[in-house]
Amino acid sequence: MAGLLTVEDALARVLERVRPLPAEPVPLADAAGRVLAEDALATVDLPRFPSSAMDGFALRAADTPGTLPVVARIAAGIPAPRALAVGEAMAIATGGVVPEGADAVVPIEHVREEDGTVSVPDSVSEGDNVRPLGGDIRSGAPVLIAGTTVAPSGLAALASAGVAHPHCAVRPRVAIVTTGTELRRPGEPLAAGEIYESNGVMLAALLGSAGAVVLPRESVADDEASHRAALLRGLEADMLVTSGGVSVGPHDLVRATLEELGADEVFWGVAMRPGKPLSFAVRGDTLVFGLPGNPVSSLVGALLFVVPALRALQGASAPGPRFETGILATPARRHPGRDDYQRARREQSDAGTLLRPIEGQESHMIVRAAAADALVHVPRGEGELPVGSAVRYFPLGSV
């Protein structure tokens, strides 16, 4: 592992191997979190017609101030039976179609209605409280562009614009294989030397939230036959993610087995902490990540490389990882050769987001890491970053 790649170079090498998956029409209700493969075009103008922004009276601005007969009542969804004539008013509900001939709506709070007339004390301006046709978007224009991940607000935008089946990349199928003879499922009894397996559930949740269809997980002992069988199955997926067994010990069998199965290793070893012995290989279009077994190393490797690769597979225009900027609240020691990703707590202050690395930064300390809500990037270098340094951080905690 002589020439470690920088995190940036490693990510670039991953992304250049990604072949985006084909698209499929997706029912809108299932499109949250999916990535649009094509621009989604509005099927209607929005608003579809000049509509009232208020409960009030539709009239002509030129007829105000004045007292006008109320000649019709317009509810949302039920347009007026005829155009409005000079000197008339029509009661109108929010969202009602402003009748032809009217050019303004005066809110109910600003008028007095009695005996079939409405008195408007002040003059109003043309266009007041009228939402013009097409003010949000015109029919045929893109509501969301290709490469966008559909957020809840995006779903509503697509629905409003009449897009029932946006075209999204198919969800990548991801196989997860955890390795280690010592691993047992939580709930099972533990013999001497055994521990509970934790990376599988973590990776499944993380990758599922990034759009993957996670295949049934496999956990294998450190023997060649079990590795071969599970990795062979995993290589059928769009992406195979393994944990453990990528270091230099005699029981670390993942890389050799992958090679034997025809995977080409693109790199092994990234100048980062935790997670240095991460490996990346390809076989055909299948992307293969070998994450180190220590749970925090697996988490960091998955966030920095696997999730961006998953998003890129789905055609995301900004696959991430997306860092934000904050301020160190305590000094942070730098590693001379590797970028450090320290688990930290964030706090809002007038100066911005303060980041306080937690106690317990070792890569096996997943319980400590679970209390963090930020991963602070401490670039490699000499000495320490003083309090107040501007740093990048990756928000943690939500899937």
Stretch that binds ligand AMP, among 51-59, 69-77, 129-137, 240-248 (CB under 6 A): 240-248
CB of 247 to ligand AMP, least distance (A): 5
- 3-state per-residue secondary structure call for 189-219: CCCCCCEECCHHHHHHHHHHHCCCEECCCEE
- For the beta carbon of residue 172, count every other beta carbon within 10 angstroms: 24
- Asked whether position 200 contacts Mg ion by CB under 5 A, the answer is no
Q: Which residue has tokens 């004539």?
A: 85
- Taking CB under 5 A as the criterion, which residues in 143-182 touch Mg ion? 180
**Can you tell me which of 50, 244, 290, 326 binds ligand AMP, judged by CB under 6 A?**
244
- Asked whether position 290 contacts ligand AMP by CB under 6 A, the answer is no
C-alpha–C-alpha distance, residues 288 and 134, integer Å: 47
Angle CA 296–19–5, to nearest 5: 45
CB of 216 to ligand AMP, least distance (A): 16
Stretch that binds ligand AMP, among 15-23, 147-155, 266-274, 291-299 (CB under 6 A): 291-299
Identity of the amino acid at 33: G
**Can you tell me which of 183, 300, 306, 327 binds ligand AMP, judged by CB under 6 A?**
183
- Asked whether position 154 contacts ligand AMP by CB under 6 A, the answer is no
- Asked whether position 295 contacts ligand AMP by CB under 6 A, the answer is yes
Phi, then psi, of 7 in degrees rounded to 5: -60, -40
Phi, then psi, of 313 in degrees rounded to 5: -60, -30
- Asked whether position 195 contacts ligand AMP by CB under 6 A, the answer is yes
- Please answer whether residues 100 and 83 qualify as being in contact, where contact means their C-beta atoms are separated by less than 8 angstroms: yes
> Nearer Cβ to ligand AMP, position 51 or 198?
198
**Can you tell me which of 52, 178, 242, 361 binds ligand AMP, judged by CB under 6 A?**
178
**Can you tell me which of 64, 294, 314, 361 binds ligand AMP, judged by CB under 6 A?**
294
- Asked whether position 52 contacts ligand AMP by CB under 6 A, the answer is no
Over the Cα atoms of the chain, what is R_g?
Answer: 30
Phi, then psi, of 28 in degrees rounded to 5: -50, -40
Among 235, 290, 239, 238, residue whose Cα is nearest residue 263:
235
Coil/strand/helix, residue 293: coil
- Asked whether position 300 contacts ligand AMP by CB under 6 A, the answer is no
# residues near ligand AMP by CB under 6 A: 17
Which positions touch Mg ion (CB under 5 A)? 180, 244-245, 293
Which positions touch ligand AMP (CB under 6 A)? 178, 180, 182-183, 195, 197-200, 243-245, 247, 292-295
